[in-house]
Amino acid sequence: MTIKEAQNQVDEWINTTGVRYFNELTNLALLTEEVGELARIMARQYGEQSFKDSDKNKDLGDEMADVLWVLICLANQTGVDLTEAFKKNMEKKNLRDAHRHQQNKKLR
C-alpha cells in the first residue's frame, strides 16, 4: 500500500463508517494521546520501566498504526499530500544532513 492509498482508505472509512472527521484540534489531541500510548509501551519494552498487567498484551505495531491513522486524518483534513511532503522532507534531510551524522563522533 502506498501512502496515497492509505490516505484514500482512511478518508473513505471516515466518510462512510466514521461519519465525519473530528475537528483538527481534537485530532491533534488524539495524536498526542496515541503517541503517549506508544511511548508507554516503548518505555516498558525497551526502557527501564516494568510492564503493568494492563500493558502486557499491547501490540507495538498496533500502537504505531494508531499514530499513523491519526496523522493521516490530520493530513487529509489539512490538504497535505503525505507522499509529496515525505519526498520533500527526504530531499531536505539529504541536503542538510548529507555529512552531518557521519561526522558526529557521538554516533561512532
CATH number at residue 34: 1.10.287.1080
pLDDT tens readout for residues 37-57: 999 999 999 999 888 888 888
Please check whether residue 101 lies inside any domain of the structure.
no
Read off the amino acid at residue 78: T
pTM of the prediction?
Answer: 0.89
Please check whether residue 15 lies inside any domain of the structure.
yes
pLDDT surpasses 90 at 102: no
Range of the domain at 14: 3-81
pLDDT recorded at residue 26: 98
Please check whether residue 56 lies inside any domain of the structure.
yes
Please check whether residue 105 lies inside any domain of the structure.
no
pLDDT recorded at residue 101: 84
Please check whether residue 65 lies inside any domain of the structure.
yes
Secondary structure element (H or E) that encloses residue 29, with its range: helix 24-45
Please check whether residue 93 lies inside any domain of the structure.
no
pLDDT recorded at residue 59: 94
Chain-centroid distance of CA 51 in Å reads: 23
Q: How confident is the model at residue 107 (pLDDT cuts 50, 70, 90)?
A: confident
Please check whether residue 34 lies inside any domain of the structure.
yes
* Cα(30)–Cα(74) distance, integer angstroms: 10
